[in-house]
Structures are given as structure tokens and as C-alpha cells.
């Protein structure tokens, strides 16, 4: 079953010339973690706001859990939850107040909401700060409060807009664990991120969007495979120059060294050459990060050429 379907969805904000979403088509299977990956300004928040009934599209449709996000907005709101991007906590409420309120506002009975609020606070390791004024919390703690607010709702589909922004690596993984648990409990999770490792580690499927358009979609593995025949990367630290490396694959410059994206066979040839020259190299499989830089960079270069 599809949990979400967008058809030719477009949004152009008033006074804006460029569309934020440009005839976007996508489908999300129920029970999955689905990630929308894109740079700042790609259109991720715009999509989430439309799908969660907070913003009207300019044209096209989104169906969420079988309900139209525009026509059936009222009914849909009871079945979804959303953790917005960079949300502020409210002075002088405590983290517990925030989580409790978000459950009570959905109509949950008080005893049940109290129990679930405690579970959500524990899950995100907010137990110690549960009853302090939220204003005293660091940015990372506030962000975890926002995530805790959607952790134990009765919603079937949960949107999270950059849920791990500003979190340290330990807390990012803690949020990943919780999202995986939510999925295991049968919910559909739709999240946005610009962290490639996050998308790769967490998602059953993903789309890469750029300027409101889908550039690639599928599983992390299939996106890597479909978008690029370059399965292998070779980081070259010395003794080669840019033009020589061009013969082995696609070269990108990263912090003063070269990364060659290529296939296994060419990587081996480059490896042999490096041994002959006694050069320092490192060979590894491409990551989603490489793919992202490759296709988003490609699109932007194409556009510049077109001008």
C-alpha cells in the first residue's frame, strides 16, 4: 500500500519567479522510512508543509493515507504528526509540558498521555531535564524535545523536517534508533535531511531533489547503482596531477586532494600505477555523498552551460 503519493505537485511562492516544487511525482510505501535528500533550498520543507496540510500547492495533488492533503485536510490532520524544521520551544514550558501538550492536543486521554510522554522523554534521554524551563536548554536538547513531541503519538505517518540538525553524532544515532523503532511499530516515517550518511543508514527508500525536481529515487543502493556506473572511489594524496587522473575516471577536488570516481577495473589500474610511483591512495566504495555531489553538481554545471 502507498502511504503517500504526489502527482505533478508544484508550488511557486508569491513574489517568487522560480518554483520551489516543479511537477514533483513521488510515492512512498507504507511502513517505510522515506528520506528526502537535498541541499538548502531544494524544496524539502515546502513539500513537507504541503503534504502535512499546512501549505496549499499551486497545482498538482498529494494523497496521504488515502486522503487528499487539500480537500481532506481536516480529517488527515488527525492521522499524521509533524516535527517542523528548527522549531522553537515555548517559554516557560518544560520538555514534559511540550510532549504532554502535543499528545493531549491530539485528544489523547490524560493518563495515557502522561505515560507516553514519559516514554518519549526517556527514549530521547531527556529524563534529567524533563522538568526544567525549556529556555535553559541547549540547541541540541531543544531539538530533541521537538522530536520527542512526535515519538509516541497515535499518528500513522510522521513527518520530520531535518530532525537531527544541530545534534552531535551520538544524539543523531539516538534519533535514528528511535525512528527505526517507530517504523518497527508499523508507522511510516518521512524525513528530510542534507546528511547523506543519515539517508544511507536509515532509509528504505529515498529521493534526491534539487530545485524542486526529483533527480533520483529508489533504495540507497539502487540510487547509487542507477545514477552512476562509478562504483569505486580512489582518494589520491600525492604524486599525481589532475590531468593524469582524468584518464582513470571522474575527478573531484576535495580539500586540496583528488578523488577519482570510477569503476573497479580502472581503480585497479590506478592502484597499480600508484604502487609503481609509491604514491599514497585509498580505495573504497562510493557513498551516497559522492553520488549526490556528482548528480547535483552535474545538473548545475549543465545549467551554467545552457546559459
x/- letters, 167..206, toward Mg ion (CB under 5 A): ----------------------------------------
Among 26, 42, 76, 158, indicate the residue that binds ligand ADP (CB under 6 A): 42
Closest CA to 150 of 141, 138, 163: 163
Q: What is the rounded CA–CA span in Å between residue 117 and residue 101?
A: 9
The CB-of-190 to Mg ion minimum distance in angstroms stands at 13
* Residue 44 touches ligand ADP, criterion: CB under 6 A: yes
* All three cell numbers of 131: 522538568
Among 32, 45, 94, 228, indicate the residue that binds ligand ADP (CB under 6 A): 45
The CB-of-46 to Mg ion minimum distance in angstroms stands at 8
* Residue 26 touches ligand ADP, criterion: CB under 6 A: no
Q: Say if residues 231 and 219 touch (Cβ distance below 8 Å).
A: no
Q: Say if residues 83 and 165 touch (Cβ distance below 8 Å).
A: no
157 binds, among Mg ion, ligand ADP, none (CB under 5 to 8 A by kind): none
* Residue 86 touches ligand ADP, criterion: CB under 6 A: no
* Residue 262 touches Mg ion, criterion: CB under 5 A: no
Helix axes 220-227, 288-306, angle to 10 degrees: 40
Stretch (H or E) spanning 104: helix 95-104
* Residue 43 touches ligand ADP, criterion: CB under 6 A: yes
Give Cα 183 to chain centroid, integer Å.
15
The CB-of-285 to Mg ion minimum distance in angstroms stands at 29
Amino acid at each position: 500500500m502507498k502511504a503517500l503519493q504526489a502527482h505533478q505537485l508544484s508550488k511557486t511562492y508569491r513574489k517568487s519567479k522560480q518554483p520551489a516544487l516543479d511537477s514533483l511525482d513521488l510515492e512512498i510505501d507504507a511502513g517505510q522510512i522515506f528520506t528526502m535528500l537535498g541541499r538548502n533550498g531544494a524544496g524539502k520543507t515546502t513539500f513537507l508543509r504541503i503534504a502535512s496540510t499546512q501549505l496549499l500547492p499551486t497545482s498538482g495533488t498529494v494523497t496521504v493515507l488515502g486522503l487528499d492533503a487539500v480537500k481532506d485536510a481536516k480529517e488527515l490532520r488527525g492521522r499524521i504528526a509533524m516535527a517542523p524544521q528548527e522549531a522553537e520551544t515555548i517559554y516557560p514550558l518544560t520538555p514534559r509540558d511540550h510532549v504532554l501538550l502535543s499528545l493531549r492536543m491530539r485528544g489523547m486521554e490524560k493518563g495515557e498521555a502522561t505515560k507516553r510522554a514519559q516514554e518519549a522523554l526517556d527514549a530521547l534521554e531527556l529524563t534529567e531535564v524533563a522538568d526544567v524551563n525549556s529556555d535553559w536548554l541547549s540547541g541540541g536538547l531543544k531539538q530533541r524535545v521537538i522530536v520527542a513531541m512526535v515519538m509516541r503519538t497515535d499518528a500513522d505517518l510522521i513527518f520530520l523536517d531535518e530532525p537531527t540538525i544541530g545534534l552531535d553524532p551520538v544524539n543523531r544515532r539516538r534519533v535514528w534508533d528511535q525512528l527505526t523503532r517507530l517504523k518497527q511499530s508499523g508507522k511510516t516515517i518521512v524525513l528530510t535531511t542534507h546528511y547523506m550518511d543519515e539517508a544511507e543508514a536509515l532509509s528504505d527508500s529515498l529521493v534526491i531533489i534539487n530545485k524542486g525536481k526529483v533527480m533520483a529515487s529508489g533504495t540507497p543502493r539502487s540510487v547509487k547503482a542507477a545514477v552512476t556506473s562509478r562504483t569505486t572511489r580512489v582518494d589520491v594524496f600525492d604524486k599525481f596531477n589532475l590531468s593524469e587522473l582524468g584518464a582513470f575516471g571522474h575527478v573531484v577536488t576535495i580539500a586540496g586532494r583528488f578523488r577519482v570516481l570510477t569503476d573497479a577495473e580502472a581503480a585497479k589500474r590506478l592502484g597499480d600505477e600508484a604502487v609503481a610511483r609509491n604514491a599514497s591512495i585509498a580505495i573504497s566504495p562510493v557513498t551516497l555523498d559522492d553520488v549526490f555531489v556528482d548528480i547535483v553538481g552535474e545538473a548545475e554545471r549543465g545549467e551554467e552551460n545552457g546559459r
